[in-house]
Chains A and B, each alone.
Chain A
């Protein structure tokens, strides 16, 4: 499937507004917005149903299905969409009780207050638990910097939260369910529940069994100052991938947690020796020193659309910040076997000279290939790399394709600068390797 973000967002939008469309087309003749009381009730219920739909879609977006990845231009982009849709679901669900209690405000505020507090009606209590759970888990994701494995574990409880929300929409006696705000309410609720719970169950229980994960063995481990280079060889059939893509890696070593982590591939396209370079960022990555030659590794993927060949014929500028160099290492190695139509300039910015990874290799590749130039940038001595400095070194910034990978702040400032210099947004390709 061809990348089409507009189509992807349109599908999400249309699915989200289904309750409104159903109300308009299948609603009874009764005026649902006739007076203050019925208008607030209807709005409350619509926000709840829109929120439920978006909530179910977040699970679909996290299934790593290839068609969805293709639609949004890479799994990293899908996870950005997943985060935005999850946030929209939370906001929509917050409006659900707000509108419902507004109904009671003019007559009896205590009645409104009772609506928000747990009571003897379990149909309502399920909704309150679901909303509180959603607030807690999404806040944890967005505002805390907990360890990846703990965060991932906590995120899986969203399935339970969704289950409570399902109980709520089936058991509660609102206008929508009691009086059929639109014909087919229960069919719609059932569809949303099945899609959400199905997608969640698939991700949690079935994905790893259905997807063919390739089995590799650790071949070498090379430590850098702040990173490890891990080379692996396939036990059976090697993985087919393109330079610049990423994989989910699970190490089978009793000293390491057995969860899968995403890492960019540092080796050239379809190389039988699969290499990743992991920066010591947290608890898990620091423990990789425990890895031993011959350790079993299970690999899921490849994912991502960070593909320089899609800008064939154009002069390209590759910009890497820190550990963001990893996909470019594979792409640069790829150039050895390929004829390049245009020129490629690789800017590699680090905070300190000792942070350079693959410096010698990149220097060697640029000496061997006249169309490939390597510009090492030490921000400690040369100042921060920005779009104007890139323009000064590589000439005109227009009519070039840009590929960026690095920390979000680094990427954002360069993209902003490039856009100000007149570069078209379509010419900028970025890799988002932070999944939270």
Chain B
């Protein structure tokens, strides 16, 4: 093939330039738009803390259409431990 070496060198150079440019643009855009939390800033939780699934809340109409009188509870509400919500914010890695 005519100019085979020249064609090969230019093809490699173009490919490398394309990959460099697109990576920089993509990663730059990502860095600008995504808030990155450093791994050190994620609170460390004790090992024995287990995530407790939260029971689905009953939907209660706060303003009932009819007034409710003499509402008494037959049994006192069972104290439940406050739900522990574990939020793991994973460190984002470089988009490529």
Contacts and interface: CB of A to CB of B under 8 A. Distances in A.
Given A90-B13, A94-B13, A83 B6 contact: yes
B8 to A, nearest CB: 10
B13 A112 contact: no
B3 A98 contact: no
Contacts of A90: 10, 13
B1 A409 contact: yes
B28 A84 contact: no
A405 B14 CA distance: 32
Nearest to B21: A116
B84 interface: no
B10 A91 contact: yes
Contacts of A408: 1-2
Interface size class of A (residues with CB under 8 A): 20 to 34
A110 B6 contact: no
Interface residues of B, number: 20
Contacts of B31: 108-110
A112 B6 contact: no
A142 to B, nearest CB: 5
Contacts of A111: 28
Main SS at interface, chain A:
helix
A115 to B, nearest CB: 8
Contacts of A110: 28-29, 31-32
A87 B10 contact: yes
Contact of B29 (A84, A97, A113, A135): A113
Given A98-B20, A143-B7, A409-B1, A116 B13 contact: no
A163 interface: no
A163 B91 CA distance: 47
The 4 A-B residue pairs whose C-beta atoms are closest, nearest first, are A113-B28, A110-B28, A109-B28, A110-B32
Interface of A: 83-84, 87, 90-91, 94, 97-98, 101, 105, 108-114, 116-117, 135, 138-139, 142-143, 408-409, 434, 436
Given A114-B28, A142-B7, A143-B11, 20 more contacts: A83-B3, A83-B6, A87-B6, A87-B9, A87-B10, A90-B10, A91-B10, A94-B17, A105-B24, A108-B31, A110-B28, A110-B32, A112-B28, A113-B24, A113-B28, A116-B24, A139-B14, A142-B10, A143-B7, A408-B1
